[in-house]
Chains A and B, each alone.
With several copies, the nearest count.
Chain A
Amino acid sequence: MADMTYREAVAEGIAREMRLDPTVVCLGEDIGAAEGVFKTTVGLFKEFGPTRVWDTPISEQAIVGAAMGAAMTGLRPVAEIMFSDFLACCWDYLANEIPKVRYMTGGQVTVPLVVRTANGGGLGFGAQHSQAVENWAFTVPGLKIAAPSTPADVIGLLAAAIRSDDPVVVFEHKGLFASRGPAPPAGHVVPLGQASIARQGRDVTLVALASTVPIALQAAETLAADGIEAEVIDLRCLVPLDMRTVLESLARTSRLVVVEENPYQGGWGATVVSIVADEGFELLDAPIRRVAGECVPLPFADSLEAQVIPTAARVIDVVGQLAAY
């Protein structure tokens, strides 16, 4: 299979669904003629034209609110929120409207929409353009949440998300856009809620998501040289959350480290840990550790930013401590 970038996979993943289903439409800022500020919508405007790919004003509430109204009435909108930090500008729709309308109408209304957004740090964009905020969405029952780590998963998860009758937030990681991987075959779909085992190992389980998958894999390589075999689980989705895969791995390894980019306080890893501390308590041979973002805003300077987001070195350090436990 040919290689492609994660960035290319986004546009390709959307295009594949748009070809299959004429009700799939895109809207967002600068996604049309400009092809996206991250170049993640390249080719869409050319192929599908202005009735399928819509440039919007800077109106995040109108973007997501209109997507919701359209999803309630026969379309499958794919709305882009340029940086995930800006989800805060339309948070009412993500938190109070979209995830609740099916429930509060007793099932009368469904909202098959996708909100895509560029998430995460590492590029020196500062406090308001660098956050990993997948944990914000995780606080809201009623949203499905995908966060791919490879180009193939981007395409497969976008397919599942766009076809889903439930609302899905897809977190594309800014730090991964330039990364490469095999292009998946036509028809590739990754069902929502199925973690993948990115690396097998018997000594410790590393649970990761999106940007932290390559970090965990890199740490695992170094640890292997020291004789510690880490199993790396790529959750792929936060909702549905594939705890079965995590607990099964833990049954083999007895040790758990969660590697997450969002801040430690309120991070999604805490929920994973709390399930394990309940249902997997007897499997544990050592404390559970979380390598997470520091509880500070994201600093601009690259040297500072590297100190507050997870690194392979921190993972290696923490696993070393657990192994010695």
Chain B
Amino acid sequence: MNDLLRMYELMAVIRRTEKAAYDLFMAGLVKGTTHLASGQEAVAVGASEALRDDDYTFATYRGHHHTIARGATPEACLAELMSKATGLCGGKGGSMHLTYAAGNMLGSYAIVGSHLPMAVGAAWSAQLRGSEQIAVAFFGDGATNIGAFHEALNLAAVWKLPVVFVCENNLYMEYTPIASVTAVANPAADRACAYNLPASIVDGNDVLVVRSAVREAAARARDGGGPTVLEMQTYRHFGHSRTDPATYRPSWEVEEWLSRDPLTIAAAQLSKEDVAAADARAEKVVAEAVEAAKAAPPAEGALTDVWADGSSTWRT
């Protein structure tokens, strides 16, 4: 299968997994909250294609796409959302904390910006161990205004660490436009100057463009050239989270971006037959995942997994 078709299919799987998550929410089978990444699949898939399997990635509460792109199954993700024992995190993490350590996807973090220093630390570790791994932090436009962003970029630059900072600029924080609270036009790329780092602004909805941008940054990182800031321009199709109808977005804007759907853009470069076949495979994988997740046993172990020995004992 050619690269683009493979990437298309992965995006199709992510899209359908999130659609399933939404439907399961409406059916009362997913609780809490979810933040769909629909519309932003190309960032995750293009980036993952550019990485080695042993490279580290860190994501946010909006991390379904990154988790699946690094190899987690739709079933394990959906089972997590459905509070099942077979979920990625055994039902203890939920949508906001999807983690697939077996694929070096080292977690989804729900405190904005908190994972940027962690990615820096993973890159530092790789450098010290001489493993030639790199680390990638994915974060939103809103994260560029929090202190941890600044500290992370400076430290990474000073230590010339193999880390790539990938901002998914989808124009909004929760309900407020990033432009209204940020002193520069491109919240990530226009900050790179403060750390003497290379930056580029990337079409985040074209999976091939994403892949080549991340490839270049990853190569620089691996070659000892230090960190890069990539600002991916993209858009979320839905509201910030389950409860958000996103009425604050002008309909022309939504339409414009829907017309630039990453799946459509990729599909346009593939044959109709290939796309249809990939869609069918994706459909099947996700449908089976939903059934398997539904059938799985419920989460258990509220008092396990605090300590490395598996317990939560804090006193004698």
Q: Are B93 and A106 in contact (CB under 8 A)?
A: yes
Residue interface mask B132-156, A partner, CB < 8 A = 1: 0101000000110111100110110
Contact of A69 among B100, B119, B154, B300 (CB under 8 A): B119
A88 within 8 Å of B by Cβ? yes
Expressed in whole angstroms, the Cα–Cα distance for A60 and B152 within the complex equals: 10
B304 within 8 Å of A by Cβ? yes
B126 within 8 Å of A by Cβ? yes
Q: Are A296 and B306 in contact (CB under 8 A)?
A: yes
Expressed in whole angstroms, the Cα–Cα distance for A243 and B315 within the complex equals: 6
Q: Considering only CB atoms, which chain B residue lies closest to A27 in the complex? A: B124
Expressed in whole angstroms, the Cα–Cα distance for A263 and B312 within the complex equals: 13
Return chain B residues, CB-CB under 8 Å to A308: 302-303
Query: Which segment, of A72-80, A146-154, A202-210, A217-225, faces chain B?
Result: A72-80
Given contacts A105-B99, A296-B312, contact A58 B146 (CB under 8 A): yes
Contact of A239 among B32, B83, B314 (CB under 8 A): B314
Q: Are A65 and B92 in contact (CB under 8 A)?
A: no
Residue interface mask A182-210, B partner, CB < 8 A = 1: 00000000000100000000000000000
Interface residues contributed by chain A, number (CB under 8 Å): 85
Q: Are A106 and B315 in contact (CB under 8 A)?
A: no
Residues B110-131 near A (CB distance < 8 A): 110-126, 128-129
Return chain B residues, CB-CB under 8 Å to A126: 32, 93-94, 96-97, 110
Q: Are A33 and B97 in contact (CB under 8 A)?
A: no
Contact of A106 among B87, B152, B307 (CB under 8 A): B87
Contact of B151 among A61, A108, A301 (CB under 8 A): A61
Q: Considering only CB atoms, which chain B residue lies closest to A60 in the complex? A: B146
Return chain A residues, CB-CB under 8 Å to B128: 25, 51, 70, 75
Q: Are B152 and A127 in contact (CB under 8 A)?
A: no
Q: Are A58 and B142 in contact (CB under 8 A)?
A: yes
Return chain A residues, CB-CB under 8 Å to B309: 165
Return chain A residues, CB-CB under 8 Å to B173: 29-30, 57-58
Interface residues contributed by chain B, number (CB under 8 Å): 84
Expressed in whole angstroms, the Cα–Cα distance for A297 and B304 within the complex equals: 10
Q: Are B303 and A296 in contact (CB under 8 A)?
A: yes
Q: Are B155 and A34 in contact (CB under 8 A)?
A: no
Expressed in whole angstroms, the Cα–Cα distance for A68 and B117 within the complex equals: 8
Expressed in whole angstroms, the Cα–Cα distance for A170 and B252 within the complex equals: 40
Q: Are B91 and A66 in contact (CB under 8 A)?
A: no
Return chain B residues, CB-CB under 8 Å to A178: none
Query: Which segment, of B43-51, B175-183, B255-263, B272-280, faces chain A?
Result: B175-183
Tell me the minimal C-beta distance from A68 to chain B in angstroms. Answer: 5
Q: Are A96 and B124 in contact (CB under 8 A)?
A: no
Q: Are B151 and A59 in contact (CB under 8 A)?
A: yes
A284 within 8 Å of B by Cβ? no
B53 within 8 Å of A by Cβ? no
Q: Are A106 and B106 in contact (CB under 8 A)?
A: no
Return chain B residues, CB-CB under 8 Å to A136: none
B33 within 8 Å of A by Cβ? yes
Contact of A128 among B109, B145, B299, B315 (CB under 8 A): B109
Q: Are B176 and A30 in contact (CB under 8 A)?
A: yes
Return chain A residues, CB-CB under 8 Å to B142: 57-58
Tell me the minimal C-beta distance from B299 to chain A in angstroms. Answer: 4
Tell me the minimal C-beta distance from A123 to chain B in angstroms. Answer: 7
Return chain A residues, CB-CB under 8 Å to B100: 108
Q: Are B174 and A37 in contact (CB under 8 A)?
A: yes
Q: Considering only CB atoms, which chain A residue lies closest to B243 in the complex? A: A37
Return chain B residues, CB-CB under 8 Å to A245: 316
Tell me the minimal C-beta distance from A53 to chain B in angstroms. Answer: 12
Tell me the minimal C-beta distance from A171 to chain B in angstroms. Answer: 17
Return chain B residues, CB-CB under 8 Å to A102: 305-308
Return chain A residues, CB-CB under 8 Å to B107: 101, 105, 109
Expressed in whole angstroms, the Cα–Cα distance for A13 and B180 within the complex equals: 28
Contact of B121 among A67, A99, A296 (CB under 8 A): A67
Residue interface mask A142-164, B partner, CB < 8 A = 1: 10000000000000000000001
Chain A residues engaging chain B, CB cutoff 8 angstroms: 25, 29-30, 32-34, 37, 51, 54-62, 64-75, 77, 85-86, 88-89, 92-93, 96-97, 99, 101-110, 112, 123-129, 141-142, 164-166, 193, 239-245, 265, 275, 294-297, 299-305, 307-308
Q: With contacts A105-B101, A239-B314 known, what are 5 further pairs, Cβ within 8 A?
A: A57-B146, A59-B155, A126-B94, A240-B313, A294-B302
Can you list 26 residue pairs at the A/B interface with Cβ under 8 Å?
A51-B128, A57-B146, A57-B154, A58-B113, A58-B181, A59-B155, A64-B117, A65-B117, A66-B155, A69-B106, A72-B118, A96-B114, A106-B91, A106-B305, A107-B310, A123-B32, A124-B31, A129-B110, A166-B308, A240-B315, A300-B32, A300-B80, A303-B83, A304-B91, A304-B301, A308-B303
Chain B residues engaging chain A, CB cutoff 8 angstroms: 31-33, 56, 58, 80, 83, 87-97, 99-102, 106-107, 109-126, 128-129, 133, 135, 142-143, 145-148, 151-152, 154-155, 158-159, 173-176, 180-182, 248, 298-310, 312-316
